[in-house]
């Protein structure tokens, strides 16, 4: 059962989640003309009346940029203010996930982005592990990642996730946990909603932005952490065969965090991986505000005592 946070934000006001509804004629519902973000929040282990948000500023920046691709100007600072107020009103006491959304809210039928109303919405849900933390089994999807020449992949556009949905269902229905999508050049792109990394000979390798990936915030964070540890990170095209002979493979994402891949197709991979586990442990410590070096990545929100 989904445990949604009690208060949502819609049409410029906070209302009960159960009342946060839109018309079946809403433009974005029919054409995928929306963009969303996703960020986690946890109660501070040292002070449960303080909520810790991971990289709030970057999430707000990315959603603001995604909105521009929909011909919608909403400043990152506005998004951040609403999110902070949202957390204070909901008073969460468990790990949770927030979904901010910008969307075309008009009831028209013409596919367009000009001369059409847009809105910002926000809701939250309690969320623990999105994927099994001990590792996942992946298959190579028969569905191909979109190309930036036909889809604005620098934004987190909702319409793009039909491919992710098809790939994820195909993977689960064939006995796997997750899908890995290739791009139009036949190179590894990303998973259904996560970025992908491989480890070979002590070096981390990951597809670059030219491989039609989403500019993942957890991806960016993991690269920084690895480099700070003195681990070389190489961004380049990755071949399918490299997945099968890698020393380690792992996925990153806001919901998934860092999760090891223990199998690709019928090939078993070494798990747990030393580098994967190290990065996972440090990222967890950062989100719990236990790493002073990365304190600026954590946004604390003090809840009222009411």
The CATH number fitting domain 7-126, selected from 2.60.40.10, 3.40.50.970, 3.40.710.10, 3.30.470.10: 3.30.470.10
Q: Does domain 136-287 have CATH number 3.20.10.10?
A: yes
Percentage of the chain exceeding pLDDT 90: 93
Q: Strand pairing partners for 254?
A: none
pLDDT at 162: 96
Query: Which CA distances in Å does 143 have to 91, 181, 182, 256?
Result: 41, 7, 8, 21
| pLDDT at residue 1, rounded to an integer | 59
| Residues paired with 98 in a beta bridge | 39, 124
Taking the complete model, does pTM exceed 0.75, yes or no?
yes
The arithmetic mean of pLDDT across residues 13-39, rounded, is 97
Q: What's the CA gap between 132 and 127, in Å, rounded?
A: 13
The catalytic residues are 156
pLDDT at residue 272, rounded to an integer? 78
At 258 the pLDDT is: 95
Cα distance between residue 106 and residue 122, in whole Å: 18
pLDDT at residue 118, as a whole number: 97
pLDDT tens profile 109-122: 999 999 999 999 99
pLDDT tens digits, 74-91: 999 999 999 999 999 999
HEC sequence for the chain: CCCECCEEEECCEEEEHHHCCCCCCCHHHHHCCEEECCEEEEEECCEEEEEEEECHHHHHHHHHHHHHCCCCCCCHHHHHHHHHHHHHHHCCCCCEEEEEEEEECCCCCCCCCCCCCEEEEEEEEECCCCCCCCCEEEEEEEEECCCCCCCCCCCCEHHHHHHHHHHHHHHHHCCCCEEEEECCCCCEEEECCCEEEEEECCEEEECCHHHCCCCCHHHHHHHHHHHHCCCCEEECCCCHHHHHHCCEEEEEECCCEEEEEEEECCEECCCCCHHHHHHHHHHHHHHCCCCHHHHHHEEEEECCCC
For the stretch 235-291, pLDDT in tens is 999 999 999 999 999 999 998 899 999 999 999 998 779 999 999 999 999 999 999
143-172: pLDDT as tens digits: 999 999 999 999 999 999 999 999 999 999
Sketch the domain layout of the chain as residue ranges: 7-126, 136-287
pLDDT band at residue 130 under the 50/70/90 scheme? confident
| pLDDT of 45 above 80 | yes
pLDDT at residue 270 in the model:
85
What is the arithmetic mean of pLDDT over 170-188? 97
| pLDDT tier, 306 (very low <50, low <70, confident <90, very high otherwise) | low
């Amino acid at each position: 059962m989904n445990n949604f946070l009690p208060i949502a934000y819609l049409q410029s006001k906070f209302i009960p989640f159960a009342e946060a509804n839109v018309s079946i004629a809403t433009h974005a519902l029919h054409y995928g003309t929306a963009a969303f973000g996703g960020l986690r929040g946890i109660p501070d282990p040292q002070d449960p009346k303080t909520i810790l948000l991971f990289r709030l500023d970057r999430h707000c920046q990315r959603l603001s940029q995604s909105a521009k691709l929909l011909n919608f100007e909403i400043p990152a600072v506005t998004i951040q203010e609403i999110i902070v107020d949202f957390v204070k009103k909901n008073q969460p006491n468990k790990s949770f996930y927030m979904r901010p959304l910008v969307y075309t809210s008009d009831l028209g039928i013409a596919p367009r982005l000009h001369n059409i109303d847009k809105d910002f919405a926000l809701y939250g849900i309690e969320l623990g592990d999105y994927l099994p933390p001990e590792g996942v089994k992946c298959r190579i999807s028969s569905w191909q990642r979109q190309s930036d020449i036909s889809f604005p992949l620098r934004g987190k556009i909702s319409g793009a996730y039909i491919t992710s949905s098809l790939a994820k269902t195909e993977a689960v229905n064939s006995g796997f946990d997750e899908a890995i999508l290739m791009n139009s050049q036949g190179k590894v792109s990303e998973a259904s909603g996560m970025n992908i990394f491989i480890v070979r000979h002590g070096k981390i390798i990951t597809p670059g932005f030219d491989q039609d990936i989403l500019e993942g915030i957890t991806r960016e964070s993991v690269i920084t952490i690895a480099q700070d540890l003195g681990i070389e990170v190489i961004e380049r095209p990755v071949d399918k065969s490299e997945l099968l002979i890698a020393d380690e493979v792992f996925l990153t994402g806001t919901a998934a965090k860092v999760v090891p891949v223990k199998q690709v197709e019928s090939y078993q991979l070494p798990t747990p991986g030393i580098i994967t586990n190290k990065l996972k442990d440090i990222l967890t410590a950062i989100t719990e505000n236990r790493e002073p070096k990365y304190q600026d990545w954590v946004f604390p929100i003090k809840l009222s005592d009411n």
